[in-house]
């Protein structure tokens, strides 16, 4: 994708976000268990815990809803870069410190320059798809441990990981974007059909409905849904087992599986292009504005029951 085209798309996206915001108002250490900050901001959203040289935990901690925005991108990029470059690392588990939320949707409030000032990543893709591609292709095994809501970017980060394990009682996954009038941009159209087939992928993408742990397991959205009380132990045991194996053999296996399962950069770039085009349309501007007015990003009930509220904003106006 040409840089001029990229900047034009990012500018358009930033203008949309800025317009919505104006309309509704601003509503490394090796010791066991050592926490290492992932970026430079005082408010770290992604915190690395080095459980051992071969096993890290990356904890998402951006209360109250773990919303992902432009300020999150440098922090996640720092995490991905460290994952790519550490010679001893074998497995990383992504989890959350915020009850009820794994990682949610993009932040619709920041001003124009917060988005347009971010350059493409090393792959040449825009920052978010770039980081997700690099995470999938890194030689390190990645696991999403989903407890709470994984919506939009949260779903897309989970899909970019090699494995996903969910709390049977507390996990909720979704690609909500259709309910807000726009197209997802972080790769779910390319990744979901490879996991669960065309029909089920379209059900998730075209309904915007919430998918609980049981259905997510049945559809192949996640590897397994476990009772919440067993989730931590299961994932930790699996991660420690993987970390005990030979790093080069792990990397070889992942590389060969990637060759037949991962979408191309072109596919993912086209999704981002579709996303940028869609958020400029009147339907998206109208629906996001309505959601913000209802309390998106402020009201816990809206964030927790997003599928219900996107259904509300798409009801015909009563005369």
Task: Give 300-303's long-range contacts (Cβ < 8 A, gap of 24+).
Answer: 300/64, 300/65, 303/65, 303/101, 303/104, 303/149
pLDDT digits (tens, 9 = 90+) for 143-166: 999 999 999 999 999 999 999 999
Q: Does the structure show a pLDDT above 90 at 27?
A: no
**Please, where are the H alpha helices in the chain?**
3-24, 72-85, 112-116, 127-137, 153-160, 188-196, 198-207, 213-219, 228-243, 247-261, 265-279, 282-294, 300-304, 306-313
Is 217 in the active site? no
Contact 182, 189 (CB under 8 A): no
Average pLDDT over residues 246-275: 95
pLDDT of residue 145: 98
- Could you tell me which residues come within 8 angstroms of residue 286 by beta carbon, excluding any fewer than 6 positions away? 181
CB count in 10 Å sphere of residue 64:
13
pLDDT tens track for 45-95: 999 999 999 999 999 999 999 999 888 999 999 999 999 999 999 999 999
Q: Find where tokens 């726009």 sit.
A: 182
The full set of domains in the chain, from first to last, is 3-310 (3.90.226.10)
Which listed residue (45, 84, 156, 270) is catalytic?
A: 156
| Residue 219 preceded by cis peptide, ω within 30 | no
pLDDT at 117: 72
More confident of the two residues 277 and 113: 277
Side-by-side strand order, sheet with 224-226: 34-37, 46-52, 55-60, 91-96, 141-146, 163-167, 224-226
Q: Which residue has the higher pLDDT, 44 or 27?
A: 44
Active-site annotation holder among 177, 217, 271, 303: 177
Helices vs. strands in the chain: H and E counts, helices first:
14, 11
pLDDT tens, residue by residue, 173-224: 999 999 999 999 999 999 999 999 999 999 999 999 999 999 999 999 999 9
Question: Residue 52 in contact with residue 42, Cβ under 8 Å?
Answer: no
Please give the Cα distance from 196 to 191 (Å, whole number): 9
Residue 169 among the catalytic residues = no
Give tens-digit pLDDT for 213-256: 999 999 999 999 999 999 999 999 999 999 999 999 999 999 99
Q: Percent of the chain at pLDDT above 90?
A: 75
DSSP 3-state of 314: coil
Given a cut of 70, whether residue 8 has pLDDT beyond it is no
pLDDT band at 107 (very low <50, low <70, confident <90, very high): confident
pLDDT, residue 33, reads 64
287: Cα separation from own chain's centroid = 21
Residue bearing tokens 């904890």: 59
pTM: 0.87
Nearest to 133 by CA among 156, 151, 112, 152: 156
């Amino acid at each position: 994708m040409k840089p001029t085209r990229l900047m034009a798309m990012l500018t358009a996206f930033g203008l949309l976000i800025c317009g919505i915001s104006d309309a509704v108002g601003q509503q490394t250490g090796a010791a066991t268990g050592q926490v290492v900050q992932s970026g430079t901001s005082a408010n770290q959203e992604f915190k690395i815990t080095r459980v051992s040289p071969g096993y890290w935990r990356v904890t998402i901690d951006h209360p109250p809803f773990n919303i992902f925005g432009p300020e999150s991108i440098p922090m996640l990029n720092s995490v991905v870069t460290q994952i790519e470059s550490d010679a001893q690392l074998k497995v990383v588990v992504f989890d959350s410190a915020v009850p009820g939320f794994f990682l949610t949707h993009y932040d619709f409030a920041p001003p124009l320059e917060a988005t347009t000032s971010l350059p493409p990543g090393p792959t040449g893709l825009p920052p978010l798809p770039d980081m997700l591609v690099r995470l999938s292709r890194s030689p390190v095994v990645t696991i999403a441990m989903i407890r709470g809501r994984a919506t939009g970017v949260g779903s897309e980060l989970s899909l970019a990981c090699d494995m996903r394990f969910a709390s049977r009682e507390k996990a909720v996954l979704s690609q909500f974007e259709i309910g807000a009038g726009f197209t997802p941009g972080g790769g779910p159209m390319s990744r979901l059909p490879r996991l669960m087939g065309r029909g089920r992928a379209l059900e998730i993408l075209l309904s915007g409905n919430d998918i609980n742990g049981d259905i997510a397991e049945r559809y192949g959205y996640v590897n397994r849904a476990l009772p919440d009380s067993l989730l931590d132990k299961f994932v930790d045991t699996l991660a420690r087992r993987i970390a005990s194996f030979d790093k080069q053999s792990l990397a070889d296996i992942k590389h060969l599986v990637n060759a037949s399962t991962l979408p191309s950069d072109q596919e993912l770039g086209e999704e981002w292009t579709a996303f940028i085009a869609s958020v400029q349309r009147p339907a998206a501007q109208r629906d996001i504005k309505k959601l913000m007015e209802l309390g998106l990003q402020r009201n816990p009930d809206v964030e927790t029951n997003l599928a219900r509220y996107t259904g509300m904003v798409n009801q015909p106006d009563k005369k």
